[in-house]
Structure 1
Amino acid sequence: MKKILVINAGSSSLKFQLIAMPEREVLASGLVDRIGQETSTYSFLTTDIKIEESEIIPDHEYAMALVAEQLLDPIYGVIDTPSQIDTVSHRVVHGGSIFKEPTLINETVKEKIKELFSLAPLHNPANLTGIEVSEQIFPDAIQIAVFDTAFHQTIPEHAFRYAIPNELYEQHQIRVYGFHGTSHKYVSKKAIEYLENPEAKLVVLHLGNGCSATAIVNGESVDHSLGFGPVPGLIMGTRSGDIDPAAVLYLIDKLGYSAEEVNHILNKKSGLLGLTGHSDLREIQKGVSNGDAACILALEMTAYRIRKYIGAYTAAMNGIDALVFTAGIGENSALLREKVCENLDFLGICINNDKNENTEKGIREIQNGYTKILVIPTNEELEIAIQSYELMEA
């Protein structure tokens, strides 16, 4: 049995799972949230206990030390010494076109991750901090990086290239990279197993605070809604999704915003937040129930944008076998799933309202039509553990 500690460090959070492989048994899990803010929280869960506390957690280094403290606690911890961790596996958001597989971490790999800071400024620095701190806390463990962008390296050139001067691609690698790859890979594998069809044509919708759509054929990503960075595509919690570049230039040239300010607007102040004042879809759904016009419009815009990508990807794949919903919103919002599936009956996509309202866990079908509509819970941490274990056993 190998004990793999999976670290998923976000810009202001740190999720973890300690997983025994190949048994896939979760020994402990938890979340450190709101890192660097006035009130931070953390949770720690095993088969025996659940701890939820609030305290000031100033940075990711402190958060990693807190995770280790919980795992090693003499009363409720699940390991006796740091050396009992065989591997620490890290989710790294951006691997550029360099990293296409799970990778053993060394100084060269860390330098490459640092070079990619500009492509994922909110995530790659936190990912690298998680790596460096875990090397200190778990010095005997193998350190592995699993990159969000890796799954999308199968996208063909005609889909990942932008129609800009060639030298901008050749010299500066400006292209579609894609994100949420670990989630899309895990969920598409589950869908293929469920459908018993390795050649299935899938549109997978990862809908959370960040949102993306992926076209998948034969288990491989062939197109994806996020691009060079994590802004384009679907409407998200605080990100705009697709926007005309002319609007960006207008903000800079005519309204006097700096490039940094525009970047902040598109990443942090737009999307559902910009439309309604709420970044959480649950609050927007409450607004819809109360007749709030801004919330109603935001929901319609969100569903409409998703429908356009479903249509585009169905055309790109010359068909669709299943539409798959996953992640926090995709798994839990029956209302958004219903709205997304409206007026798609020409693709055989027709939702069954009773099945859609069902809240059972696990994979479930919610369609009336001939095209499958699946809700599949994602598990990025387990997928990272699986890929890491396969690398170690290779």
Structure 2
Amino acid sequence: MIVLALNAGSSSLKFGVFKAATKRKVEPLMRGLFDGLAVTPRFSAQDAAGRLLADAPLRLPGQSTGALLQELLNFLDTRLGSEQIVAVGHRIVHGGSRFISPVHLTSEVVDALDKLTPIAPLHQPASLGPVRALSELRPGLMQIGCFDTAFHSTLAPPVSRYAIPREYEEMGIKRYGFHGLSYEFIAHQLGRISPELPAKKTVVAHLGSGCSLCAMVDGKCQDTTMGFTALDGVMMATRSGAVDPGIILYLQKTCGLSIDEVETLLYRRSGLLGVSGISADMRVLLASSDPRAAAAIDLFAFSVSRAIAALANTLGGIELLVFTGGIGEHAAQVRNAICRRLDWLGVKLDPSKSHDVLSDSDSKVEVRVVATNEEMAIARQVHLTLESATGPSEAASA
């Protein structure tokens, strides 16, 4: 049973191809990426062993989502031969209160998810675009939505509640949390690394273009930094993270910014880009000698370390700190800056270590790097959804 997992962003489209092996286990066959979608798309793919299968710019008319997916389907048809894709799983950023488990993406469901776009203006359209395009390209192919908010669906007051009039909470204004597929994968991986790890009071820092943190115990979310939208929480590449709500009022009433201009400022012009005035890419900032780059990195480390301390308060302590995401996995300088601010919590790094376990032997908090794989989390959810719908024997022969 072959499952295609799609992870659509605002400027990229990641994919993974998996074969169902046993219940709860899928084997990766290949993974790849369409990058640079805002300019000139480039397609790359690797097999499960990391061998390059494709890497080339694409000349596609209009660079539409449909054209990209047709290119991908043509590539996969050639590579898979007689094996057929039985389902496509999509990362859907916001599921709201209604969608807290994987769901068959019917037209009615897609329309309902589209209504959540004002809460996730950057991500929801990107999530739903491939769903609609595939419905045109392969009408009979089952598509299943897997939600970034679902992992946090167990959050309850006071963690989930905002200090606003109760009628707005009843309308659905509450903390939802995001990056749930990444956190689900990390929770699963911790159990594979050691059966003792999941029970620890754990904070996972998903640091990439978008950044959030999650407090968990036994693979269950206890608290998280993103809230009603993916704009909340810590500083990000181009997003501000949490700001004084009075700033938004000031920008509108005194500076004369429109609602759309404020949205653009907070989502696209802030964060690392806004503070540095140089780049939203942490790699560029780390390589720069400009003091503004150093200031942006320092604010980022402060923002993340403060969030870790707050989540430790929710947990009543911290025993395990996990870094993941592009920055979390690869930017040792940033990890070090964050951990130096947590010395008072007993966090001590071993400078000779750069992967897996980073903490010193006398550190009170175990510090790890664990690579995330949202596409595999999607494939697992799709496989389990198909098994529960058809039964193991039918799913295996589908």
TM-score past 0.5 threshold: yes
2:12 and 2:310 map into 1 onto residues whose CA distance is 34
> SS at the partner of 1:237?
coil
Alignment gaps of 5+ in structure 2: 389-398
Alpha-carbon contact 1:44-1:70 (below 8 Å) kept: no
Percentage of pairs with the same residue: 36
Q: CA deviation at 1:59?
A: 2.0
Residues 1:70 and 2:60 aligned together? no
In structure 1, what is the equivalent of residue 188 of structure 2? Answer: 189
Residues 1:50 and 2:92 aligned together? no
- Counterpart selection for 1:371 from 365, 372, 378: 365
Q: Which amino acid aligns with 2:41?
A: S
Q: CA deviation at 1:26?
A: 2.2
- The superposition leaves residues 230-257 of structure 1 with CA deviations (integer Å, 9 ceiling, x where unpaired) of 1121111101111111111111100111
Q: CA deviation at 1:274?
A: 0.6
Alpha-carbon contact 1:325-1:375 (below 8 Å) kept: yes
In structure 1, what is the equivalent of residue 330 of structure 2? Answer: 332
| 1:210-359 correspondence to structure 2 within 5 Å | 210-276=210-276, 277-287=278-288, 290=289, 292-355=290-353, 358=354
Residues 1:393 and 2:387 aligned together? yes
> SS at the partner of 1:155?
coil
In structure 2, what is the equivalent of residue 384 of structure 1? Answer: 378
1:168 and 1:33 map into 2 onto residues whose CA distance is 39
1:233 and 1:163 map into 2 onto residues whose CA distance is 16
Alpha-carbon contact 1:5-1:18 (below 8 Å) kept: yes
Q: CA deviation at 1:45?
A: 2.7
1:16 and 1:351 map into 2 onto residues whose CA distance is 34
Cα RMSD for the two superposed structures: 1.6
> SS at the partner of 1:143?
strand
Q: CA deviation at 1:199?
A: 2.3
Q: CA deviation at 1:78?
A: 2.1
Residues 1:173 and 2:172 aligned together? yes
- The two structures have a TM-score, normalised by structure 2, of 0.91
Higher relative contact order (CA 8 A, sep 6+): 2
Q: CA deviation at 1:293?
A: 1.3
Q: Which moved more, 1:53-62 or 1:96-105?
A: 53-62
- The superposition leaves residues 106-161 of structure 1 with CA deviations (integer Å, 9 ceiling, x where unpaired) of 22211211111211122222222211222333344321110001001111221111
**CA gap 1:179/1:79 in 2 versus in 1, 3 angstroms:** farther
Alpha-carbon contact 2:177-2:230 (below 8 Å) kept: yes
- The two structures have a TM-score, normalised by structure 1, of 0.92
Residues 1:61 and 2:66 aligned together? yes
Q: Which amino acid aligns with 1:347?
A: L
Alpha-carbon contact 1:103-1:146 (below 8 Å) kept: yes
Alpha-carbon contact 1:207-1:328 (below 8 Å) kept: yes
Alpha-carbon contact 2:19-2:26 (below 8 Å) kept: yes
Instruction: State the number of aligned residues.
Output: 377
Q: Which amino acid aligns with 2:307?
A: Y
Alpha-carbon contact 1:192-1:200 (below 8 Å) kept: no
| 1:80-229 correspondence to structure 2 within 5 Å | 80=82, 84-170=84-170, 172-197=171-196, 198-229=198-229
Alignment gaps of 5+ in structure 1: none
> SS at the partner of 1:162?
coil
- Counterpart selection for 1:29 from 16, 26, 31: 31
Q: Which amino acid aligns with 1:224?
A: T
